[in-house]
Amino acid sequence: MGGIVLIVLAVFAARRVWLGYPATGAEFAVLAPREEAFLQAAAEALFPPHADLPVSGGQADLPGYADRYLAVLPRRQRTLIRALFALFEHATLLWPGKGRGGFKRFSALSPEQRLGVLRDWQSSSLALRRLCLTALKAILILGYVGHPESLAALELAPWKIDSPRVEADFLYPPIGGHRDQISRVGEPLETAPTAPPLVPGLDQEAP
Amino acid sequence: MSSEARQDGEVRVFSDYTRDFEEDADVVVVGSGPSGSVVAYELAKAGHKVVLIEEGPPFTPQEFRADGNISMARTMREGGLRSTTGTFMPILQAICLGGGSLINSAMCVRPPAFIFDEWSTRYELDHTTRADLDPHYDAVSEFLGIAPTPEDVQGPRNLLFRQGCEALGIASEPVDRNVRGCRGSGECFSGCRARAKQSMDISYIPEAMKFGARVLTSLQVQGVLGEGRRVRGVEGRVVEPFSGRTSHAFRVRARWVVLAAGCMATPVLLQKSGNLANASGQVGQNLQFHPGSAVAGVFPESIDPIFGGTQSYQSLAFLEEGFKLETMWSAPAALAVRMPGVGAELVHRFGELPRTAIWDAIASTHRSLGTVKARFRSLNPVIRWTLHPEDVKVMLRSIHVLAQIFFAAGAEKIMPGVGGLPEEMHSREEAEVLRDYAIRPADLVTASSHVFCTTRMHGDPAQGVVDEEGRCHGYDNLYIADTGIFPRCPSVNPMLTVMALAHRQAQSLAERV
């Protein structure tokens, strides 16, 4: 009897964790389809369409952003971040969404249920839950607000800066490169840069 | 091992290492941050054969990334995700040529005399008064062109801080910085593309190389070679940038070893080297931070927050109460992380970013102590630290003062970021709740890049790791030159002080070597 219960639980767990995620065709260096589905669902809930910003979370390719971020993290930290995604995806077993089907994994909830779940994490009396939400938000906000269209709409687009050559630029090759890749073009700056202060609008990149 | 003959005064990068190798030097300096670079330069200038080792790679402007996550993952230890246990707090520590100077805001602040008086009396230090150190502060300041941030690159968000302080009668001042020709890009934290910030990689290190210093990057020191009262050098492995994969072995034999690997890495290295220099039992103990807490304020009109020095205005008026106030800017998306809420309310707050300034306080939390221990089979540390309830009150007091300054400067609302309190406050009266709130450590969102005391300086060898010259008690030729030697947190940004101490150490060492 115990064995049957274990088998049923294992099938349930496997089905919940691995099965039923749609193939989107997107290619990632790190992310699995289940993580892509979670991130897309979280992005849509966190950043709905709004008049102040031209793209919504659902349009900002945040799974792609998260994948690029994970790819440059050390292995241990990458594992922790992926565990965070899995936690949110399946913590609905402990803290379900409101209404019917609230125990489904996060990415299978309705948009209203997802927002409610995130609000629960935000207002939780457990500091650790609030902290986890802050960590998730931190990853996705950097991708969303850092999206070129978001920054342009907020008049916060990056500066156009042509870096002057300093002496040190003739010493260091590109990271991972060889010293024959050091560009010898131009003279090194001998004194302090003399370019004037930047001007918002004028010296920012065009959207 | 074979010996790779190299010319003096050269920098070596990851692709240069093709086999195991050994080097000889008078002095090997481990860590190229502000203190290690000063030591390397001063000793090379004095004619000594210096090898400067750095675990990270050199960065050029083409390598800087505006995205906060990606930038931190590339330039900081543990991908920018290092944190404390006990009281959770993210810790930001650099791994790149130049260390923290590449990605800090260039704030150069001399602590007032009472800080050093406290150091002297509590830690039996007879020659570490402000007057003792002033000549060394002066030398470093002159070398780096340290000067107050000029008015034309302050920008509205810094000047509003001054306006708020003036309205309340709080003393404030432009920040002295190691910057030449600032354009007000506010990009200090991701690397200065304008090449104005005089980080070590473009200032002290190239100058050290002119005097023959050899700079070996992408080398992870894994052990200090010790023998009785003397050390003989260091050894370790070549490490690939970002991936952390190690390959060829190296050894640098030296008559003098200076550890400037940082307040976390230095004690770990000593522990991994057979618990070196730890007769006092103080290696890795006494850990202190300057935890930072930030308040966001929204003004009625756009303040073009993207323009202006990253951290260019400050108030030292509350140092004796235990905190320092300063302005702050970062990648806009990174600052947006500060915004509370989810869904439409969160996105609405993003829309307010052009009208938002963020000011912060760093607290001198000397009652909050911790430890640093080597992680099993890793050079990354386990960091335990607990925020003391009295220090939490100091931090809340600093948030309250920042709220007052915001409203005095004309802000229409603030976001104090204190758990259990309203996300937004719309008047000074409303913000008075901050005055007496029964706050708990978990109510604060905090972070720190200022780390101290894990190899502290103490006149009594039984109570400290190094003496006033930074020499390890009980050792003839092993020195430590990073913020680990501070006996107590200094209450202000530590870069200039650690450089001044390094300058003094280097002068003393130059005579001995």
In this structure, of A157-161, B336-340, B390-394, B427-431, the range with the lowest mean pLDDT score is B336-340
CA–CA gap between residue B313 and residue B41 (Å, rounded): 30
Q: How far is B358 from chain A (nearest CA, A)?
A: 15
Cβ atoms < 10 Å from Cβ of B386: 15
In 3-state terms, what secondary structure has residue B397?
A: helix
CB-closest option in A154, A172, A195 to B332: A154
**Whole-angstrom distance between the N-terminal and C-terminal Cα of chain B?**
27
Q: What is the pLDDT of residue B6?
A: 42
Q: Do A141 and B60 touch (CB under 8 A)?
A: no
In 3-state terms, what secondary structure has residue B281?
A: coil
Does pLDDT of B4 surpass 60? Answer: no
Nearest residue on chain B to A132, alpha-carbon basis: B88
Q: How far is B462 from chain A (nearest CA, A)?
A: 37
Q: What is the pLDDT of residue B439?
A: 92
Does pLDDT of B160 surpass 50? Answer: yes
Residue bearing the bigger pLDDT, B227 or B33 = B33
pLDDT tens for residues B40-94? 999 999 999 999 999 999 999 999 998 889 999 999 999 999 999 999 999 999 9
Q: Do B333 and A141 touch (CB under 8 A)?
A: yes
Q: Do B202 and A197 touch (CB under 8 A)?
A: no
DSSP-H helix ranges across B145-217: 155-168, 204-210
CB-closest option in A69, A143, A171 to B11: A171
Which residue out of A112, A145, A167 would a mutagenesis test of the B interface target, given it has the greatest number of B Cβ atoms within 10 Å? Answer: A145
With contacts defined as CB-CB under 8 Å, which chain B residues touch A51? 351
Q: Do A72 and B445 touch (CB under 8 A)?
A: no
CB-closest option in A45, A74, A171 to B343: A45
The stretch B326-334 carries a mean pLDDT of 92
CA–CA gap between residue A104 and residue A97 (Å, rounded): 8
Q: Do B347 and A130 touch (CB under 8 A)?
A: no
Taking the Cβ of residue A132 and every Cβ of chain B, the question of whether any pair is shorter than 8 Å is answered with no
- Structural domains present in chain B: 1-78+94-106+109-145+194-283+454-513 (3.50.50.60), 79-93+148-193+288-451 (3.30.560)
With contacts defined as CB-CB under 8 Å, which chain B residues touch A78? 79
Which residues on neighbouring strands pair with residue B11, listed in sequence order?
A: B215
User: Which segments in chain A show pLDDT lower than 50?
Assistant: none
With contacts defined as CB-CB under 8 Å, which chain B residues touch A199? 307
Q: Which of B44, B382, B243, B484 is nearest to A78 (CA)?
A: B243
Q: What is the pLDDT of residue B2?
A: 40
CA–CA gap between residue A4 and residue B41 (Å, rounded): 72
Q: Do B350 and A53 touch (CB under 8 A)?
A: yes
With contacts defined as CB-CB under 8 Å, which chain A residues touch B439? none
Taking the Cβ of residue A82 and every Cβ of chain B, the question of whether any pair is shorter than 8 Å is answered with no
pLDDT tens for residues B356-403? 999 999 999 999 999 999 998 899 999 999 999 999 999 999 999 999
Q: Which of B302, B299, B301 is nearest to B412 (CA)?
A: B299
- Token pair for residue A182? 């050091």
Taking the Cβ of residue A123 and every Cβ of chain B, the question of whether any pair is shorter than 8 Å is answered with no
CB-closest option in A74, A127, A134 to B79: A74
CA–CA gap between residue B47 and residue B474 (Å, rounded): 27
Identify residue B29 by its one-letter amino acid code.
V
Q: Do B343 and A172 touch (CB under 8 A)?
A: no
CB-closest option in A127, A143, A178 to B15: A178
Q: Pairing mode, if any, of strands B323-328 and B356-363?
A: antiparallel
Does pLDDT of B1 surpass 60? Answer: no
pLDDT tens for residues B263-280? 999 999 999 999 999 999
Centroid of chain to Cα B195: 20
Does pLDDT of B205 surpass 90? Answer: yes
- Token pair for residue B63? 């390598």
With contacts defined as CB-CB under 8 Å, which chain A residues touch B184? 197-198
Q: Do A156 and B184 touch (CB under 8 A)?
A: no
CB-closest option in B63, B74, B205 to A174: B63
The angle at the Cα of B314, spanning B308 to B316, to the nearest 5 degrees, equals 170
Residues 6+ apart with CB under 8 A from B289: B89, B91, B365, B368, B370, B385, B448, B450, B451, B452, B489
Nearest residue on chain B to A53, alpha-carbon basis: B351
Mapping DSSP onto H, E and C, the string for chain A reads: CHHHHHHHHHHHHHHHHHCCCCCCCCCCCCCCHHHHHHHHHHHHHHCCCECCECCCHHHCCHHHHHHHHHHHCCHHHHHHHHHHHHHHHHHHHCCCCCCCCCCCCHHHCCHHHHHHHHHHHHCCCCHHHHHHHHHHHHHHHHHHHCCHHHHHHCCCCCECCCCCCEHHHHCCCCCCCCHHHCCCCCCCECCCCCCCCCCCCCCECCC
The stretch B114-127 carries a mean pLDDT of 95
CB-closest option in B15, B185, B343 to A159: B185
CA–CA gap between residue B296 and residue B402 (Å, rounded): 9
Q: Do B342 and A176 touch (CB under 8 A)?
A: no
- Token pair for residue B298? 């929204």
Q: What is the pLDDT of residue A185?
A: 75
A positions 156-195 inside 8 Å of B (CB): 156, 158-159, 161, 163-164, 166-169, 171-179, 189, 191-195
The stretch B422-443 carries a mean pLDDT of 94
Beta strands in B349-391 (DSSP E): 356-363, 370-374, 381-385
Q: How far is A100 from chain B (nearest CA, A)?
A: 21
With contacts defined as CB-CB under 8 Å, which chain A residues touch B88? 131
Q: What is the pLDDT of residue A3?
A: 84
Does pLDDT of B8 surpass 80? Answer: no
Nearest residue on chain A to B60, alpha-carbon basis: A169
With contacts defined as CB-CB under 8 Å, which chain B residues touch A140? none
Q: How far is B87 from chain A (nearest CA, A)?
A: 11
With contacts defined as CB-CB under 8 Å, which chain A residues touch B340? 122
The stretch B172-185 carries a mean pLDDT of 97
- Token pair for residue B104? 């800090």
Q: What is the pLDDT of residue B7?
A: 47
Q: Do A46 and B342 touch (CB under 8 A)?
A: yes
CA–CA gap between residue A38 and residue A16 (Å, rounded): 13
CA–CA gap between residue B189 and residue B197 (Å, rounded): 11
Which residue out of A84, A141, A169, A199 would a mutagenesis test of the B interface target, given it has the greatest number of B Cβ atoms within 10 Å? Answer: A141
